[in-house]
Structure 1
């Protein structure tokens, strides 16, 4: 699938993804995947439905959906490079993901965010109605561990 908005494009074509841009942002600029190894990023991409955001052919954003394609999806690793923020591109990227044909009819979408609640609320996300129903196992320093 491909969506166009002026000089900007969103596509789910995995061959267009620039792993250097994606890994660079996640490893050095994100708060959620600091120090993530490139091999881990590549494995995550392999096992997700991925979306690249491009300006004139250059990758400027990314997101991925982890899903069973029947009942549930988790939105992860959403970013737009800093030079392109404030233009509604993150909102557009998420909206493209939500209308993707392979992700229709799902009962639940989830995500985690520290600071972008307003962005996701524009696309219909709301705080957990019953947070007491949800549990997690979280290893925040997993990419820094020595083996």
Structure 2
């Protein structure tokens, strides 16, 4: 098992990618960018590498329980758990989307509530005691 690790779900673009970028600059440990789509996740990690930042990539589709359990098992095996978990993955329909409201509501709840619950159910037991608030993980 190796050192400290930070994991950010849904981080191949937007706020999640910005969080990974900041962690790469400040966190003293390995930083993992996760995405459901392998190609987009790897492209995001390569984009950070072109900025001189090192982010590792691990596939994680929060709507797929097998993907969640595989990712949790990976971090438990490689790091003995997780020091920082930032659950950023989620969805939002655009205002102009014509998908019926009932479908939007169902899909939104499935991802933003039930899938989030599944991620936390499998990852919270892996959070290492102490975490970032009590140990010097961040660069000064």
What TM-score, normalized by structure 1, do the two folds share?
Answer: 0.30
User: Which of the pair is proportionally richer in helix?
Assistant: 2
What TM-score, normalized by structure 2, do the two folds share?
Answer: 0.31
User: Which of the pair is proportionally richer in strand?
Assistant: 1
